[in-house]
Chain A
Amino acid sequence: MKYGTKRGETEMVAKPKVAITWLGGCGGCDEAVVDLNEALLDVTNAVDVIFWPVALDFKYHHLEKMADGDIVLSIINGNVRNSEQEEVAKLLRKKSKLVLSFGACACFGGTPGMANFRTKDDIFNWVYRDAPTVVNPQGNYPQVKTKVDGKELTLPAFYEQVFALNQIIDVDYYLPGCPPPPDLIANAVTAVLEGKLPPKGSTLAPHKALCDSCKRNKTKPQRIAIKELKRIHEIEASPDTCFLAQGVLCLGMATRDGCGAVCIETNIPCRGCFGPVEGVKDAGAKTIAALASMLDVQNDDEMKKAMDSIDDLAGYLYRFSLPTSSLKKRRT
């Protein structure tokens, strides 16, 4: 099936409806859509954007009135941490033919997913009681329902943990990245409009690891031997040499390609925002296998020294993907 009309055509055909929304995200994914620049005009000419809270004033009740399946594509970014986000995700799922999980937060939980290393109580106590900038003498905490002047005010319920989108609703396609790059966004939208989609559940990005296309790959020695890991700010990193060869932990070997190596181009190692490569569920576990083989240690003392040089290994390996990893969250 082919949707929409080309720019300039005057034929009055109902354009396919598209919704874009942000749940637990920073807005960077919405900005990435805007970064399509002129191509965005082609997109808006081909589709009716019927919901995009960050850009236009639409209300949830507009969505509720639509028929089920009326929206051709819902592009949902951000994770699910509260009841409002869950409600919107489920409403869009009901009204949409296709749901695209857009960006690292929707696909894997993203950076905010690292909150799963803490409990809800830890977070509330820090944010509303213990942080040095907090002044809260009455010890007020946010409540789902509060009576004020005889009226009831409500807030969404804050969940115990962060969820990726597919842990809440059925997802048709995935486009990872923090944020996804314009070329992959354009490809994804075009594929939907032209009806040229891969099997359901596919990730609309390359299958191989970032190292595969990295320009620095040719500088990688045959065997990487790291005695101690360095963080990027601790060395004068060469702009052309493989980070691992410089002793800096780069996650390119266990991260899906497709980002355009924008971090590497700015001399920052890969942090893993594209998630695991095709067929891998837990990028952190796979990184351990690769990292262990690179640690050049001969005895327990050397191993201890190498281990001590790694700051917050769990946070580094699951910077974007803790909620969808095997471990998911901290047990209490």
Chain B
Amino acid sequence: MSDFEPKLVCFSCRFGWGYLGDQHALSAQIKNWIPIICSGKVDATHVLDAFKHGADGVLILGCPAGECHYQDGNAESKKRILLLQKLLDACGIDPSRVRMEMSLDPEGKKIPGLVKNMSDTIKKLGPVKMV
């Protein structure tokens, strides 16, 4: 298990995360980083597709509650993730493999740390079994 390196996909809202930072430098540090316009864009299908293609975890970075540029995209995404976690649990995939962080970080300095934290948690869970 020690040589297992989890594959993480990180979606982040461009309005709240990393828009002032050096995109190239951040991209080099964060594997599978997908900046998007509003976390509300992340559908359950995207998360399931990530798992289907071999991801071991999915991290979604959205804006704080009440601060969505599009009114409530972050709240919509949060509801979807909570519902999706029920499906994952029923299929033997630990719900903590999908996490949503609602905060702000224009420089994007926190992102590599958040990805690492989640990777460490997932390392203990091991890879998602492909079926």
| Chain B residues near A307 (CB-CB < 8 A) | 82-83, 86
Residues of A within 8 A of B87 (CB): 284-285, 288, 313-314, 317-318, 327
Chain B interface size band reads 20 to 34
B92 & A314 in contact (Cβ 8 Å cutoff): no
Q: Is B48 an interface residue (CB 8 A)?
A: yes
For A289, the chain B residues whose CB sits under 8 A away are 43-45, 80
Interface residues of A in 286-324 (CB under 8 A from B): 286, 288-289, 291-293, 295, 297, 303, 307, 310, 312-315, 317-318
Chain A interface bracket (under 10, 10 to 19, 20 to 34, 35 or more): 20 to 34
Say which residue of B45, B93, B129 sits within 8 Å of A282 (CB atoms). B45
Taking a contact as CB atoms under 8 Å apart, the answer to whether B84 and A327 are in contact is: no
Bound Cα distance A307, B83 (Å): 8
Residues of B within 8 A of A314 (CB): 86-87, 89-91
Which residues on A sit within 8 Å (CB–CB) of B44?
284-286, 288-289
B116 in contact (CB, < 8 A): no
- A326, B80: Cβ atoms closer than 8 Å: no
* B88 touching A292, Cβ below 8 Å: no
How many Å lie between the Cα of A314 and that of B95 in the bound state?
Answer: 13
CB <8 Å contact, A292 and B79? yes
In Å, the complex CA distance between A329 and B89 comes to 11
- Residue of A117, A288, A317 with most partner-chain B CB within 10 A: A288
Q: Which residue of A lies closest to B81 (CB)?
A: A292
Q: Does B51 contact A (CB under 8 A)?
A: yes
CA of A167 to CA of B67, assembled, Å: 45
The residue of chain B having its C-beta at the shortest distance from the C-beta of A315 within the complex is: B90
Q: Does A147 contact B (CB under 8 A)?
A: no
- Report if B22 contacts A (CB, 8 A): no
Residue numbers in A under 8 Å from B101 (CB-CB): none
Interface presence of B76 (CB below 8 A): yes
* Complex alpha-carbon distance, A318 and B86, angstroms: 12
Which residue of B is nearest A280, CB measured?
B45
B interface with A by C-beta (< 8 Å):
43-45, 48-49, 51-52, 76, 78-80, 82-84, 86-93, 128-129, 131
Q: Could you tell me which A residues sit within 8 Å of B by CB distance?
A: 117, 161, 282, 284-286, 288-289, 291-293, 295, 297, 303, 307, 310, 312-315, 317-318, 326-332
Give 6 nearest A-B pairs by CB, closest first.
A314-B90, A331-B92, A292-B79, A326-B48, A285-B44, A288-B44
21 A-B pairs (CB sep. < 8 Å): A282-B45, A282-B48, A285-B44, A285-B48, A285-B87, A288-B80, A288-B84, A289-B43, A289-B45, A289-B80, A292-B79, A303-B79, A303-B82, A313-B87, A314-B90, A315-B90, A317-B87, A318-B87, A326-B48, A330-B92, A331-B129
